[in-house]
Copies of this chain bind each other. A is one copy, B any other.
Amino acid sequence: MSNYCAVLSIAGSDPSGGAGIQADLKTFAAHGCYGTCVITSLTAQNTTGVQGVHGIPPSFVGQQIRSVLDDINVKAMKTGMLFDGATASEVASILRAYQVQGKLPPIVCDPVCVSTSGHVLLQSDALEVLAKDLFPLTALITPNKSEAELLLSSITRSSFKISSLEDMLTAAETLASQCATAVLIKGGHIISSAGHLKDVTEKHLHLEVVSHNLYDENMQILHVADTRRAKNPEVVVDLLYQPGHAPIVFAKPRIDSTSTHGTGCTLSAAIACGIAQGFSLKDAVAEGIQYTYFGIITAEPIGSGYGPLNHLHSITPTVISKRTPSNLYPFTYYLIEQTKSHWKEYVQHDFVKQLGQGTLAKEKFVHFIVQDYHYLKYYTRSYGLLVAKSSTFPAIQSATKIIMDVLHEIQTHRTFCETFGVTREDLETAPEATQTTAYGAYILNIGLQGDAPKLIMALMACLLGYGEVGLWLKKEAALPNSWVVLDGNPYKQWIEDYSGEVYQSAVQTGLDTLEKLAIHELPSSNKLKEWLEIWLRCTQLERGFWDIAMDLRW
Interface residues of A (CB under 8 A from B): 1, 3-4, 6, 13, 15-17, 22, 25-26, 29-30, 32, 34-39, 42, 44-48, 51-52, 54, 56-57, 60, 63-68, 70-73, 213, 216, 218-222, 224-226, 228-229, 253, 255, 294, 297-298, 300, 302-305, 308, 310-318, 321-322, 324-329, 332-333, 336-337, 340, 343-344, 347-348, 388-389, 391, 448-452, 454, 464, 467-468, 471-472, 475, 504, 507-508, 511, 520-527
Residue pair A39, B15 in contact (C-beta under 8 Å): yes
Instruction: Give chain B residues whose Cβ lies under 8 Å from the Cβ of A507.
Output: 221, 225
Chain B contacts for A344, CB-based, 8 A = 218
What residues of B have a CB within 8 angstroms of the CB of A332 in the complex? 221-222
Q: Which of B6, B221, B317 contacts A314 (CB 8 A)?
A: B317
Query: In the complex this chain forms, how many copies of it are found?
Result: 2
Contact A329 B225 (CB under 8 A): yes
Asked if residues A71 and B48 are in contact (CB atoms below 8 Å), the reply is yes
**Whose C-beta in chain B lies nearest to the C-beta of A312?**
B3
A37 and B45 CA atoms in complex are apart in Å by 11
Q: Which 8 A-B pairs have the closest CB atoms?
A: A522-B524, A46-B71, A220-B471, A17-B36, A44-B63, A451-B451, A315-B315, A44-B67
Known: A15-B39, A37-B22. A45 touches B67 (CB 8 A): yes
**Are A464 and B220 closer than 8 Å at their CB atoms?**
no
Q: List 9 A-B contacts (CB under 8 A).
A: A1-B317, A16-B68, A22-B25, A39-B39, A218-B343, A226-B328, A313-B318, A315-B315, A450-B451
Given contacts A16-B72, A36-B15, contact A504 B224 (CB under 8 A): yes
Q: Which chain B residue lies CB-closest to A256?
A: B326
In the complex with contacts A218-B347, A524-B522, A67-B15 CB distance below 8 A: yes
Residue contact A63 to B52, C-beta cutoff 8 Å: yes
Report whether A302 and B6 are in contact in the complex, using a CB–CB cutoff of 8 Å: yes
- How far is it, in angstroms, between the C-alpha of A507 and the C-alpha of B315 when the chains are bound? 30
Report the bound CA distance from A527 to B523 in whole Å.
10
Taking the nearest CB of chain B, how far is it from the CB of A302, in angstroms?
6
Supply 9 further A-B pairs (C-beta < 8 A) apart from A29-B312, A314-B321: A3-B300, A15-B65, A44-B60, A51-B66, A72-B302, A218-B348, A315-B315, A316-B318, A522-B525
> With the chains together, A13 CA to B60 CA distance in Å?
13
A302 touches B44 (CB 8 A): no
What B residues does A329 contact at CB under 8 A?
Answer: 222, 225-226
Asked if residues B316 and A297 are in contact (CB atoms below 8 Å), the reply is: no
Q: Which of A36, A39, A467 has the most CB of B within 10 A?
A: A36
Q: Quick one: closest B residue to A391, CB to CB?
A: B449
* A477, chain B: closest CB distance, angstroms: 13
* Set B16, B224, B226, B449: member contacting A388, Cβ < 8 A: B449
